[in-house]
Amino acid sequence: MNCYIYRCSGKNDMYIYLKDQDDFSVVPDHIKKSLGETEFTLEVEITADRKLAKENPETVLKNLDEHGFHLQLPSEKSIEEVLTEIANNSRDGAK
């Protein structure tokens, strides 16, 4: 499924994934208010087996299908910690 990802100024590392480009009408008002300014970041095809940095692709697909959007909230970990974990997992999988 193709989706459209927007960076949200409401919090660092908060992104919203939309099923349809620029269709924020599917997002409830109380969530919309917390997003702040949104900036289009990326169009991407998500499949169940696609690796995403911080999200479970099956959860993203389910939310897009059921609600038209998925909200990625900031992680407790820094991006550097997440990238290190991904690199370590990739090395471990190559053995």
The neighbouring-strand residues paired with 4 are 18, 43
Give residue-wise pLDDT tens across range 12-68: 889 999 999 999 999 999 889 889 999 999 999 999 999 888 889 999 999 999 999
CATH number for the domain spanning 12: value is: 3.10.510.20
Sign of the alpha-carbon torsion through 12, 13, 19, 22: positive
Number of domains composing the chain: 1
65: domain range?
2-94
Confidence of residue 87 (pLDDT cuts 50, 70, 90): confident
Q: Across all residues in the chain, what is the average pLDDT?
A: 87
Is 83's pLDDT higher than 70? no
Q: What is the pTM of this model?
A: 0.76
* DSSP characters over 27-86: S-HHHHHHH-SEEEEEEEE--TT---SSS-HHHHHHHHHHHSEEEEPPPSS-HHHHHHHH
Distances (CA, A) of 45 to 5, 11, 52, 76: 11, 25, 11, 26
